[in-house]
Amino acid sequence: MDMLILLFLLLLAALGWFWSDSMRALEIARHMGKQVCVNARVQFLDDTVARTGLAVVRDNLGRRVLRRTYRFEFSETGNTRLEGRLILLGDKVESVTMEPYQILPEADAG
């Protein structure tokens, strides 16, 4: 009976760690999605990202880490919804891709 309780507590701790790590990664992805959109001068829509993939992979040092894929939506004019994709390897951004969009000329300030 004691072993069963210990296994249950270990499982509960692992689930708690995974949830906490997932929330941290989600915030990193949301912040990076927003930053990419600011740099590209497009609108980051809905102020959110959605996880679309999860895998265990090895990083460049050979350690096992989680690779999380997120999608986000952006618009260059406010009339369209285009999709971007952001991949985190652990807590580092591995890549960001965005659907092709029209680069609009900057509005005159005066």
Q: Are the CB atoms for 49 and 72 separated by under 8 Å? A: yes
What's residue 23's pLDDT?
Answer: 96
* pTM reported for the whole predicted model: 0.84
3-state secondary structure of 51: strand
**Is pLDDT at 109 greater than 60 in this prediction?**
no
The Cα 83–Cα 77 span in angstroms is 14
Q: Which range, of 17-21, 28-32, 58-62, 103-107, averages the lowest pLDDT?
A: 103-107
Using one digit for the tens of pLDDT, what is the confidence trace for 62-97?
999 999 999 999 999 888 899 999 999 998 999 999
* DSSP H stretches of helix in the chain: 2-40
Apex CA 28: angle with CA 22 and CA 29, to 5°? Answer: 85
